[in-house]
């Protein structure tokens, strides 16, 4: 492998969940720019088609596939479709997550609790199971789990969400250990506060930013595109000896 093509993804098939906007969209576009065929997935096919069109307009290759990551039957159908269409999967980015409840942890209602677990833990888990099995058939691949700094330091009013992100970090390590033998690497990205629809209540609220920024050495929130480089690294041969790790892209927040 020469140093000039460390990040080349030509011939690779990549699935990015939650890729219709925000961090997932920027990851999908970066993987496509480096040569991967990208399956752009979210609940809304139309929104995914818009991202696919942008990728194609930039000279890349992509397709849209709708999938609700909280629905097991839809996950199964997605991976069956990928296998029958492409016969392989090289890169899986588990990125689609939910955070339906902000507030005191003691008041978390059961339906928000269940929904958060279904998407953020069960969805990542079964996508990883299907992804790792398909990758193993072709000698391996790379799974990247988008977790969060909240998986290390729970976010204020985001108790159940933070718990699920801690589980994703543990899931990353458990899969990394067991899947290394089949050539599947598994790593996590831990974004800090990033300017997306998901985090609008935080990053567009002056009072919240005033409380948060003293704890962020770089004194600003991230733009979604700033998450893509770490994922590109983990997806590519540049990370051929990297598994079970977390990359913090958080402006220094987790330094403490
Ligand atoms: N923004 C932050 O500050 C921040 C910080 C740390 C970690 N993160 C993590 O980064 C990831 C992406 O977040 P984001 O900020 O980019 O959010 P976003 O801009 O709101 O995008 C979320 C994406 O996920 C899709 N989605 C939502 N629920 C889904 C479901 N049940 N099944 C399938 N797709 C679903 C959405 O599309 P549809 O509506 O079409 O389904 C959309 O494409 C998440 O894992 C989040 O926890 C974000």
pLDDT digits (tens, 9 = 90+) for 210-219: 999 999 999 9
Asked whether residue 1 carries a pLDDT value surpassing 60, the answer given is: no
Tell how far CA 31 is from the center of its chain: 13
Q: Give the mean pLDDT of 115-136.
A: 98
Ligand 1 neighbours (beta carbon < 6 A): 17-24, 42-44, 47, 67-70, 95-98, 119, 146, 148, 191, 193-194, 196-199, 224
CA–centroid distance, 93 to ligand 1, in Å, is: 12
Asked whether residue 225 carries a pLDDT value surpassing 80, the answer given is: yes
CATH number for the 10-249 domain, one of 3.40.50.720, 1.10.40.30, 3.40.50.150, 1.10.150.120?
3.40.50.720
Residues marked active site are found at 161
CA-CA distance, 75 to 31, in Å (whole number)? Answer: 21
Q: Give the mean pLDDT of 124-136.
A: 98
Asked whether residue 242 carries a pLDDT value surpassing 80, the answer given is: yes
| pLDDT band at 238; cut points 50, 70, 90 | very high
Per-residue confidence (pLDDT) for residue 142, from 0 to 100: 99
Instruction: Indicate the top mutation candidate among 15, 16, 17, 18 to test ligand 1's pocket, ranked by most ligand atoms within 8 A of CB.
Output: 18
| pLDDT band at 3; cut points 50, 70, 90 | low
* pTM given for the model: 0.98
CA torsion 195→196→199→205, rounded to 10°?
A: 50
| Phi/psi-derived region of residue 155, left when phi > 0, alpha when psi is between -120 and 50, beta in every other case | beta
CA 25 to ligand 1: nearest atom: 43
pLDDT in tens, 171-188: 999 999 999 999 999 999
| pLDDT band at 202; cut points 50, 70, 90 | confident
Per-residue confidence (pLDDT) for residue 201, from 0 to 100: 87
Per-residue confidence (pLDDT) for residue 18, from 0 to 100: 98
Residue 199's alpha-carbon distances to 53, 100, 117, 163, in angstroms, are 26, 12, 19, 17
The greatest distance separating any two alpha carbons of the chain, rounded to the nearest whole angstrom, comes to 55
| pLDDT band at 84; cut points 50, 70, 90 | very high
Summary mean pLDDT of the chain? 97
Per-residue confidence (pLDDT) for residue 2, from 0 to 100: 63
Instruction: Indicate the top mutation candidate among 75, 97, 157, 254 to test ligand 1's pocket, ranked by most ligand atoms within 8 A of CB.
Output: 97
Ordered by start, the domain boundaries in the chain are 10-249
pLDDT in tens, 16-61: 999 999 999 999 999 999 999 999 999 999 999 999 999 999 999 9
């Amino acid at each position: 492998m020469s140093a000039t093509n460390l990040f080349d993804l030509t011939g690779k098939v990549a699935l990015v969940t939650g890729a219709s906007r925000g961090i997932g969209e920027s990851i999908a576009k970066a993987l496509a720019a480096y040569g991967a065929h990208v399956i752009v997935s979210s609940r809304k096919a139309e929104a995914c088609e818009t991202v696919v069109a942008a990728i194609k307009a930039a000279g890349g290759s992509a397709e849209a596939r709708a999938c609700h990551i909280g629905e097991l039957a839809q996950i199964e159908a997605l991976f069956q479709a990928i296998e029958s269409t492409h016969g392989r999967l090289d890169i899986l980015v588990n990125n689609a997550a939910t955070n339906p409840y902000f507030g005191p942890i003691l008041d978390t209602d059961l339906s928000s609790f269940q929904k958060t677990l279904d998407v953020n833990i069960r969805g990542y888990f079964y996508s990883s199971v299907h992804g790792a099995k398909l990758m193993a058939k072709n000698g391996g691949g790379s799974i990247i789990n988008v977790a969060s700094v909240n998986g290390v330091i729970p976010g204020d009013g985001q108790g159940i969400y933070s718990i699920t992100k801690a589980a994703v970090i543990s899931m990353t390590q458990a899969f990394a250990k067991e899947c290394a033998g089949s050539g599947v690497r598994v790593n996590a990205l831990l974004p800090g506060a990033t300017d997306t629809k998901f985090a609008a209540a935080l990053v567009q609220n002056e009072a919240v930013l005033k409380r948060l920024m003293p704890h962020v050495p770089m004194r600003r929130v991230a733009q979604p595109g700033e998450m893509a480089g770490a994922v590109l690294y983990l997806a590519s041969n540049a990370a051929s000896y990297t598994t079970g790790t977390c990359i913090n892209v958080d402006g220094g927040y987790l330094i403490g």
